[in-house]
Structure 1
Amino acid sequence: MEYRRFENTIIARIDKGEEILDKVKEIALKENIKLASVQALGAISQFTVGVFKTDEKKYLANEFEGAFEIVSLTGTINTMDGEFYAHLHMSAGDEKGQVFGGHLNRARVSATCEMVITVIPGNVDRKYSEEIGLNLFQF
């Protein structure tokens, strides 16, 4: 991975074999990011995404392996109890144009991933909601 910061914008290249969430965390910790938006595209060979079942308050995970293009990767970096927290969603398409997606649990880059992180001055923490079953923004 390589990246460069331009004021409040970080442009990153995540390389073949690297795991996207690991690199997002590495950048966030190195750059002391407390609040940011994330967007990316690229190619991946393995990924796991989840769908939250609100009635059961749990995620169901779906794993994929093969040749996929990231159609959309978007989300936030912020904190929970003052520590790094990322909430990313991803959609990826296969060779037939079928798209699969959800809450991103992991994704392994097969060629490259081009990411833009927009740092937002400020801090928004998260807190677990018993009612919803998720870690929600705490203002």
Structure 2
Amino acid sequence: MDYRRFGNTIIARMDKGEEILEQVKEIALREKISLASVQALGAVDQFTVGVFKTEEKEYLANEFQGSFEIVSLTGTINTMHDEFYCHLHMSAGNEKGEVFGGHLNRAVISATCEMVIHVIDGKVDRYHDEEIGLNLFRF
């Protein structure tokens, strides 16, 4: 992984074999990011995405392996209890044009991932909402 910072924008290149969430965390900690938006594209050969079932208050995870292009990767970097927190969603398509996506749990890069991180001046922490079962923004 390599990246450059231009003011409040970070342009990152993640490389084959690297796991996306690990690399986002490394950048966020190194750059002391407490609030940012994330967008990316690239290619992965392994990924796990989930869907939150509201009534059961649990995620259902789906694992994929093969050749996939990241169609969309978007989300936020912020904090929870003043510690790094990242919330990303990803959609990826296969050679048939089928697209799978959801809450990103894990993704291993097969070629490259090009990411843009827009750092936002400020801080938004999270808290766990027992009624909903999710970690929500606290303003």
Q: Scaled by the length of structure 2, what TM-score is found?
A: 1.00
- Residue of structure 2 equivalent to 1:102: 102
Cα separation, 1, equivalents of 2:121 and 2:79: 13
Aligned-pair CA distance for 1:22: 0.1
What residue identity is the alignment partner of 1:79? T
- Residue of structure 1 equivalent to 2:79: 79
* Mapping of residues 57-68 of structure 1, within 5 Å: 57-68=57-68
Aligned-pair CA distance for 1:2: 0.3
Aligned-pair CA distance for 1:128: 0.1
SS at match of 1:118: strand
What residue identity is the alignment partner of 2:58? K
- Residue of structure 2 equivalent to 1:128: 128
Cα separation, 1, equivalents of 2:95 and 2:132: 36
Cα separation, 1, equivalents of 2:120 and 2:78: 10
What residue identity is the alignment partner of 2:20? I
- Residue of structure 2 equivalent to 1:138: 138
Structure 1 residue 8 corresponds to structure 2 residue 8: yes
Aligned-pair CA distance for 1:62: 0.1
Cα separation, 2, equivalents of 1:135 and 1:7: 29
* Mapping of residues 17-56 of structure 1, within 5 Å: 17-56=17-56
Cα separation, 1, equivalents of 2:83 and 2:20: 19
Cα separation, 2, equivalents of 1:8 and 1:26: 17
SS at match of 1:111: strand
Q: Scaled by the length of structure 1, what TM-score is found?
A: 1.00
Aligned-pair CA distance for 1:93: 0.1
SS at match of 2:122: coil
Provide, for residues 67-118 of structure 1, a one-character-per-residue CA deviation record: whole Å limited to 9, x for no partner: 0000000000000000000000000000000000000000000000000000
Cα separation, 1, equivalents of 2:71 and 2:54: 25
Cα separation, 2, equivalents of 1:126 and 1:95: 38
What residue identity is the alignment partner of 2:114? E
SS at match of 2:73: strand
Aligned-pair CA distance for 1:127: 0.1
What residue identity is the alignment partner of 1:71? V
* Percentage of matched positions with identical amino acids: 80
